[in-house]
Each structure stands twice: as C-alpha cells, then as structure tokens.
A and B are shown apart, each in its own frame.
Chain A
Amino acid sequence: MFKKSTFAAALLAATVISGVASAKTFIYCSEASPEGFDPGLYTAGTTFDASAHPVYSRLLEFKKGTTETEPALAESYEVSDDGLQYTFKLRPGVKFQTTDFFTPTRDLNADDVIFSFERQWKEDNAWNKYVEGASWEYFAGMGMPDLLQSIEKVDDLTVKFTLKQKSAPFIANIAMPFASILSKEYADKLQADGKMSQINQQPVGTGPFTFVGYQQDAVIRYKKNPDYWGEAPKIDDLVFAITTDASVRFQKLKAGECHLMPYPNAADVEAIKADPNLKVMEQEGLNVAYLAYNTTQAPFDKVEVRKALNMAINKQAIVDAVFQGAATVAKNPIPPTMWSYNDAIEDDKYDPEAAKAALEAAGVKDLSMKVWAMPVARPYMLNARRAAELIQADFEKIGVKVEIVSYEWAEYLDKSKAKDRDGAVMLGWTGDNGDPDNFLDTLLGCDAVGGNNRAQWCDKEFDELVTKAQEETDVAERTKLYEQAQVVFKREAPWATIDHSLSIVPMRKNVEGFVQSPLGDFTFDTVDITE
C-alpha cells in the first residue's frame, strides 16, 4: 500500500511540476559541466557562464563586447582623493529572483554586498567554510585579502570599500564573476534551515535569468527573470545542453539541436562556414601564448641572445600549422583587444640569417637548449608539441640544438616556475578582467619572479612603469604608462610572443544579438531567435 501511494505521489508530482518548454527557448551546447553555482568558489569560465553571468549581477559589469566596466548594481561610485576609498551607490529597487525554493521579501541592499565579499574574505564568517575545501581561489588570486582594509555599510544603499594601498585594477576586479552579489536573506534562510551547501546548487541572484534546475552533466535550465533590473532578455527560456565533444557539438548545431556552441575544432571551422544554416562570429581572444626564456641563466641572460632566438622563430608558420589560421601572430605581451595595446611596436622580423649572425656576434656557439611543451591544449595554444617541433626546426636552422621536454600538466606548471629552470618554457595566459595589469604585472612584474613570471625577468624600468600604472586611476595616464612598458618589454625580449588565438563562435543563422565577449564569457541576455 505504502509503495503504491509513494508511486502515485511521485507520478502526480512529476505531472504537476513538469512543463513543456515554451516557444522562445534558446539552447546553448556548452562544453563542460559547471563545478557548482557559487561563482566565488571556482575559477573555470564554464562555471561562470552557468552561474555568474545568467543568474547573478555585480556592482560593476563589463560593457558588452568590451573590457571596460560600467555601472550595474551600483548606479555610481566615487573614489576618494587618496585613491583608497571607493564608495558605491546601489541601484534602488533591485529585486532578487523568486524561485520554487525561495521568495525574497526585500530588495537588494548594502548587507547583500557586504555578505558577498565577507564570506570570501573573513575566516570567522559562518560562510567562509560552508563547503569542504572552500578556498575562494579567485578572491585570493586577485590579491583581495591583502588589498581590502574594510567594507562598511554607510546606509542601506551605500557601501564603502577601503583599501590598504592604491590599486586601479580594483575596479576591474569588482566586475569579475567572483564578485557576484548574493542574497543575504536567502543565505540566512539556508543557514537557519541547516542547508548551507544548497546555495551552491540552487542559486538566487539579480541576473537576467532565474535558475530552474540542473541535471548533473546533462542539462541546465533557466527562465527569464521578470524582475531583472536591466533590459529584459528577449528569450523566455535558456537551456544549456552539456556536450563535451567538439565534433558532437558541431553535429548538434548542424541538426538544429542547439542554437550556439563554443570552441569548435579548428578542423571543422571551414565546414561550419560552408553550411548555409550556420554562421560564425570571430574575435581575437584576450590571450597570449609565449615562450619564456629563463633570463637569469646563461646565455639567456643576454638580451642579444634572446633577440636572436626571437628572430629565428617563424610565428606565422605556427599559427598556420596549429590553428589553421584561427589565431594572429603576437608582437606584444597583451592582446590587441585590450586597451593600451601598443600597435606602434614593430615585431622582430623573421630572419634566420640575421638571427644566426646575431647569435655569433653575441659569442654563442653550439648552443643546446630545452624547449618545454605543455602537455595539454589551451585556448591560446592548441598543440604545444607541434609548435615546439616547429620552433625546434627553426632553431636548428641557426645552429641551436633543441630538446623538447614535457611533463604532466600540474607538474609542468610547478616545475616551470623554478628560478634555476633551464631552457625556454611555452605557456600562455587568458585575461581575467581585461585590465593590462592582469597581464603585465601578473606575468612580468618583479613580484611574480619564481611564480607566474616564467622568464624570471625583473626589469626595474618595466616594473616601475607597471607599478605606477597600478596606482594611477586616470585611464589615459595608465594607457601611456602601459604603452611605454610594452616598448621596454620588446626591447628586452624576455619572451618570444607567439600568438593570440581567435575565439570562434558558430551559431544557427536565425540567432541575433549575440555579443562576443573579449573575456571569453558566453552571455545570452541580448540574444534573440528570428524565424
């Protein structure tokens, strides 16, 4: 009897809760499963595409298609004269999403902002360890714990952040996914119910889409948030169909089983462009691949040697072979889509003869070196082994013997940062927040030697420029400083810059309004489906 009634109840629940998706349903064939739905806990772009972008909003956000910030949940902000205090005025009347599992009773206020940051920052906050292994990786990685002095509520709609030192990139950090604003009211309710971990599975935010449900590794469903503070989305339902294999994603797109897909196989791009039902958007990604010499070890401590080697690399050949054209040759350490990119800089010309002569002039003979090739494909370098082989052949031409080495990924990352490491390491970077500081200081600053600075390169002139730009809040001034820093970089050649890959987004012809993000985000609040 019991079994029968349970069955009947389940049947009834299934019938009542279920519903067939409505007309304007947009299906996105995403490339992987989100790790969870609390953007503070994770670092993967896939996770942010499923959590931070549809469900949440931030105080400031990146203007569509750019890396500039614009007001979002904060209507405006003021910076104190000493550059240490940032006062944010919150937008009044912003509503949190109403879902099957939570109905908000109040609008967004300063408490929500303070909660969203303090849970990541303060160890005594009840939410700091609400799931096992919560390490708030991005919050820590962007240096927030060392930067923040305090976050105070001035009034219900005003929050003041005080910093320990001047930091212009702080504004860009505030627009990053980890800085998403959560509902304190919802958090309090979960805490009272003893279900804290639910915040990572059933998110509630102020973003354009309301979370409906997630079937692990298969489907995520959202619906339009009718209370969204910004311009209302044009689609009614948003569905992520998780499809990990790029060839299968392409087949699904072709068959009309989804409207848009990320990360096609380079080999499929021609076929996608030729399909009459599909179209493709392309943009330079916010990334760079490089070969970092160890500038502390002979003979790579000599700038002439590094310059000579740079001249020997045929970068166009790498772009053609590895990306089949879906990348551009890099001359600067920051990509062309980033503000302050110095286009006046001339790249080292590919010239094996001149390279050979320069190497001889520097007194280097019979050089043997290691070139490290990453074991994994990354957006900025799809096949490091192939690229390393091409570099090996290029260097052979000028009499330099190359041994290609590789390690398991985590070991590679670990070993390559050692100060006394030999040879040149191939690696790259994808920008986090569109601020040049996120490339120039993070990868080439003196503080990063022995860490992210794989060239172990500490140049006083460069470091001073970058540090000064960090403390300067005027964008025009910062641009000048970064442009100068790129001149120093090119002159000193700690890296051979290899490529900036293109981000290619295939979609059905009837998709309108999708805006490609230079940060690599996939957001759907502006998309529409036409017949």
Chain B
Amino acid sequence: MFRFLLGRLAVLIPTFIGVSIIAFSFIRLLPGDPVALLSGERVMSPERHAEISAQLGLDRPIVIQYLDYLWGVLRGDFGTSISTKQPVLTQFMELFPATLELSLCAIIFAVILGIPAGVFAAIKRGSFPDQLIMGTALIGFSMPIFWWGLLLIILFSGILQWTPVSGRISLMYFFPPVTGFMLIDSLLSGQEGAFKSAVSHLILPTIVLGTIPLAVIARQTRSAMLEVLSEDYVRTARAKGLSSFRVVGVHALRNAMIPVVTTIGLQVGVMLAGAILTESIFSWPGIGKWMVDSVFRRDYPVIQGGLLIIAGIIMLVNLLVDLLYGLINPRIRH
C-alpha cells in the first residue's frame, strides 16, 4: 500500500510539472496581450507598454519567466492577478468553497439518481422503462448547459417562482463567511430562514451541473450491471434462492461499482469544466467564472495558477479513486 502510494506520488510530480509547462505556455500562445488590454480602446504608447511589461516581468525570456514562476509556486506563491492586483492564491481560496459546495451537491445528486436509474434499467433491460431512462440520459448528456440553465430559470424562477433566479443566498441575509460553504455558514449564522434560503439557491445550479454526470453515471451503471448480471456467480446466487434484492443489491452491484467509481472520479474533471458555464448562468461566485473572466483579460497569473491548482485537485481525486478500488474489491489490494 505504502509502496503503491509512493509510486503514484512519483508519477504525480512529473505530471504536475508537465501541467505547469502546458498551463504556462499555452496561454502565451493565445493572441492578445494583457498589457495592451489594460487600456482598452485607448492606445498605449510603445514606451509605456514596454515600461509596464518590464514591471510585470513579461519582457524577460520565457524560460526565465517560467522558472521564476515555478520557483514561486514551490514556495506557495502563485503570483498576482494583473487585473485585480490581488494574490491568485488568496482569490482562489476565497472562491473555491463555492465551487466545491456546488460540485459536491451536483455529484451527490448525480450518484443518488444515476446509480438506481442505471441498475433499474439493467434489470428491466430492453423494456420501455429501460428505453425511457437511457433516452433521457442521452438527452441529458447532449444538453447544452447554458440553454438548459436558462430554461430552468425561466420556468422555475420566472413563471412558477419556486426558486430564486441566481446567487448563493437571499441578499436579506448577511453574515461573514466562516467556512466559505454557504450551507454551513447559514446554519452557523443563526439567522432564521438563512439555511432554507441557501438550499433553495442551490437547487437549480445543482440540477444543471449534475445533469451530464447523472446521465454518464446512469449509462455506465447500466452497462456494468448488464455485464455482471450475466456472470455465473449471479446465476448461482439466484439458483440458491436468494432474494432478487440481495442478488442485485449485494452481489451484482458491488462488482459493478468498479467502473462506476472510475466514472465518478472522472466526472470531477467534467464537473469543474461544467462549473464554468453553470457559475456564469447562476452568478455563482466560484472559480469557473473567475477563470473565464481572466481568459478574456489575458490575466496570465490567474489562468496558469488556476489551471495548476485545478489540475492538482483532479490528480488527487484520481489518486483517491485508485485507493477506493481496494476498498470495493478486496482482490485489488495495493
């Protein structure tokens, strides 16, 4: 186990450096220049452009800039945003809890609905419910998030007025952040109705962000279950006279979970990508919206810092998923 962990960590280091090179160089390949964008339509004189570039260290050879950046990252300094002039890490830490809270809710939503739907479809293979579930999953998977989000807002917030339009909590409630997680902070605030308001604000974004993972998990669960259900030991279990619930729920599902857990792990990356659009629609103050704004401003430190931290998180999640395999299937022991 320990050797496995060490081995995985040894792979993570070059991966991390690779990601840092890609993050650093790719954004510089984009046309456009953050210094010129500082002044908008107003033209900046070449002297002034050179002066500001020098101030930001952008006039140095790219290798030197990269090494300097890497050295900073190793010391925990991800640089300062060109547009807001604030440290990248501080901004990330302030915004990340919002993204994490939304992503966790979305993944829970996707798992709670996706796995039973997949199992049910597998048991009823070929039937109308199976086709209905898989058809819906296909639609969910193909849905443009932006359109889906606006549709839900117009229906549930505009016409029916069941949910608020956007934001994390009603503006009536005002308390300083303690954990950054609105559900927890609203409980801590002790203000009446705050928690309920936070929950109601989470509903639509959770559905929108969870839709694609839900579809993927349902489809993956179905195909994994179909494979397992045709195994000999399942037939043996049935022949033994075990209840259908035990056969499916205990024997089959457990073995079908390995590919499903892998899928869930991979959905974390999808989720962070989806958060970009979901956060923009719902004015959710997370890292997705922050990164998009920064791409438009060519805010190099934010884009490269943000990418690097997100990549680091995804790598850690994948490592956790690998470790989880062992718990689910004792034959895979590291």
Q: In the complex, A256→B174 CA distance in Å?
A: 19
Binds B, one of A33-41, A49-57, A477-485, A508-516: A33-41
Assuming the contacts A15-B189, A133-B52, asked whether A21 and B172 have C-beta atoms less than 8 A apart, the reply is: yes
Q: Could you say which of A109-117, A148-156, A245-253, A493-501 contacts chain B? A: A245-253
Listed stretches B28-36, B126-134, B240-248; interface member: B28-36
- The answer to the question of B125 belonging to the interface, with a C-beta cut-off of 8 Å to chain A, is no
Complex: A155 Cα to B298 Cα, angstroms: 46
Contacts of A244 in B (CB 8 A): 280, 283, 289
7 shortest A-B CB distances, which residue pairs? A410-B32, A217-B285, A18-B175, A218-B285, A131-B85, A451-B43, A408-B31
Given contacts A197-B85, A255-B157, contact A14 B175 (CB under 8 A): yes
What are 11 pairs between A and B in contact, CB < 8 Å?
A18-B191, A131-B80, A141-B39, A218-B168, A245-B280, A247-B150, A255-B165, A378-B41, A408-B31, A410-B32, A452-B42
Known: A141-B42, A219-B171, A221-B174. Contact between A410 and B31, CB under 8 A? Answer: yes
The verdict on B91 contacting chain A, using a C-beta distance below 8 Å, is yes
Most buried by A among B82, B94, B283: B283
A413 on interface, CB distance cutoff 8 Å: yes
Partner among A11, A18, A140, A407 whose Cβ is within 8 Å of the Cβ of B31: A407
- Could you mark each residue 321-358 of chain A with 1 if its beta carbon is under 8 Å from any beta carbon of chain B, else 0? 00000000000000000000000000000000000000
Contact with A along B158-174 (1 / 0, CB 8 A): 10010011111001111
B176 interface residue (CB < 8 Å to A): yes
Contact of B283 among A27, A201, A245 (CB under 8 A): A245
Chain A residues whose CB sits within 8 angstroms of the CB of B171 once the complex forms: 21, 25, 27, 219, 239, 241, 257
Q: Which B residues are in CB contact (< 8 Å) with A241?
A: 167, 171, 283
Given that A140-B48, A141-B42 are known contacts, is A132 also in contact with B85, CB under 8 Å in the complex?
yes
Which residue in B48, B176, B298 is a CB contact (below 8 Å) of A17? Answer: B176
Contact of B85 among A33, A36, A248 (CB under 8 A): A36
Binary flags per residue of B14-54, CB closer than 8 Å to A gives 1, else 0: 00000000000000001111001111111111001000100
Within 8 A of A (CB), among B282-306: 282-283, 285-286, 289-290, 293, 298
* Cα(A10)–Cα(B285), bound, Å: 22
Q: Mark A204-215, 1 if CB is under 8 A from B, else 0.
A: 000000000101
Is B174 a contact of A251 with CB atoms below 8 Å?
Answer: no
What B residues does A201 contact at CB under 8 A?
86
Q: A429 CB to closest chain B CB, in angstroms?
A: 6
In the complex, what residues of B have CB within 8 A of residue A13's CB? 176
Q: How far is the CB of B164 from chain A (nearest CB, A)?
A: 7
Known: A427-B41, A452-B41. 17 other contacts (CB 8 A): A14-B178, A15-B190, A27-B171, A35-B83, A36-B84, A133-B85, A135-B55, A200-B85, A217-B285, A219-B167, A243-B167, A243-B283, A248-B153, A408-B32, A428-B41, A430-B41, A442-B42
- Residues in chain A near residue B290, CB distance under 8 A: 216-217
Which chain A residues numbered 419 to 469 have a C-beta less than 8 Å away from chain B?
A: 427-430, 442, 448, 451-452
| A 111-140 to B, binary, CB cutoff 8 A, 1 in contact else 0 | 000000000000000000101111101001
CB distance from A66 to the nearest CB of B (A): 23
Q: Is B56's CB within 8 Å of the partner chain A? A: yes
Could you say which of A17, A248, A410, A452 contacts B175, with CB atoms under 8 Å apart?
A17
* Closest beta carbon of chain A to B296's beta carbon, Å: 8
Contact with B along A231-243 (1 / 0, CB 8 A): 0000000010111
B176 and A20 contacting across the interface, CB-CB below 8 Å:
no
Closest CB in chain B relative to A155 CB, distance in Å: 35
Known: A14-B178, A35-B84. A251 touches B167 (CB 8 A): no
Which residues of chain B in 179-237 are interfacial with respect to chain A, using CB atoms and an 8 Å cutoff?
185, 188-191
Evaluate contact between A452 and B55: CB separation under 8 angstroms: no
Within 8 A of A (CB), among B104-156: 150, 153-154
Residue interface mask B55-83, A partner, CB < 8 A = 1: 11000000000000000000000001011
**Cβ-based interface call for B281 (8 A):** yes
CB distance from A222 to the nearest CB of B (A): 12
Which of A25, A141, A255, A414 interacts with B161 by CB under 8 Å? A255
Q: How far is the CA of A244 from the CA of B281 in the complex (A)?
A: 8
Specify which chain A residues have a CB less than 8 angstroms from the CB of B190 in the assembled complex. Answer: 11, 14-15
Q: In angstroms, how far is the closest chain B Cβ from the Cβ of A264? A: 15
Alpha-carbon separation in the docked complex, A129 to B36 (Å): 19
Per-position 1/0 for A361-387, Cβ under 8 A of B: 000000000000000001000000000
CB distance from B136 to the nearest CB of A (A): 26
State whether A135 touches B52 (Cβ < 8 A). yes
Q: How far is the CA of A218 from the CA of B286 in the complex (A)?
A: 9
**Residue A43, interface by CB 8 Å:** yes
Tell me the bound Cα distance from A241 to B284 in angstroms: 11
B residues adjacent to A (C-beta < 8 A):
30-33, 36-45, 48, 52, 55-56, 80, 82-86, 91, 94-95, 98, 150, 153-154, 157-158, 161, 164-168, 171-178, 185, 188-191, 280-283, 285-286, 289-290, 293, 298
Question: Are A137 and B39 in contact (CB-based, < 8 A)?
Answer: yes
Interface membership of A19, Cβ < 8 A? yes
Q: Are B165 and A248 in contact (CB under 8 A)?
A: yes
CB < 8 Å: which of A21, A33, A36, A248 contacts B166? A248
Query: Measured between C-beta atoms, what is the minimum distance from A213 to chain B in Å?
Result: 8
Set of chain B residues within 8 Å of A25, measured between Cβ atoms: 171
Q: Which of B32, B85, B95, B178 contacts A217 (CB 8 A)?
A: B95
Contacts of A411 in B (CB 8 A): 31-32
CB distance from A121 to the nearest CB of B (A): 14
- Determine the chain B residues whose CB is within 8 A of the CB of A239 once the complex forms: 171
B280 contact set on A, CB distance < 8 A = 244-245
Pick the most buried of B83, B171, B173: most chain A CB atoms within 10 A of its CB: B171
Closest to A417 in B: B43
| Distance A257 CA – B166 CA, assembled complex (angstroms) | 9
Partner of A19, one of B38, B174, B178: B174
Query: Which residues 1-39 in A have Cβ within 8 Å of B in the complex?
Result: 10-11, 13-15, 17-21, 25, 27, 32-33, 35-36
Known contacts A21-B174, A251-B154, A252-B165; A414/B33 CB under 8 A = yes
**Least CB distance, A428 to chain B, in whole angstroms:** 7
Is the beta-carbon distance between B165 and A216 smaller than 8 angstroms?
Answer: no
Check A18–B189 contact: CB distance below 8 A: yes
Does A20 contact B158, Cβ atoms closer than 8 Å? no
- Is the pair A451, B45 in contact by a Cβ cutoff of 8 Å? yes
B-chain residues with CB within 8 Å of residue A242 when the two chains form the complex: 283, 285
Measured CB to CB, the nearest residue on chain A to B158 is: A251
Is the beta-carbon distance between A218 and B167 smaller than 8 angstroms? Answer: yes
Residues of A near B166 (CB, < 8 A) are: 243, 248, 251-252, 257
Chain A residues near B95: list those with CB within 8 A.
Answer: 216-217
Asked if B36 and A413 make an inter-chain contact with CB atoms under 8 angstroms apart, the answer reads yes
Report the separation of the CA atoms of residues A28 and B65 in the bound assembly, to the nearest whole angstrom.
41
CA distance A133 to B82 in the complex (A): 7
Given A241-B283, A243-B283, A428-B41, the answer on whether A251 and B157 have CB atoms closer than 8 Å is yes
What residues of chain B lie closer than 8 Å to A407, measured between beta carbons? Answer: 31
CA distance A137 to B44 in the complex (A): 9
| Cα of A243 to Cα of B41 in the assembled complex, Å | 24
B38 partner residues in chain A, CB cutoff 8 A: 43, 135, 137
Residue numbers in B under 8 Å from A243 (CB-CB): 166-167, 283
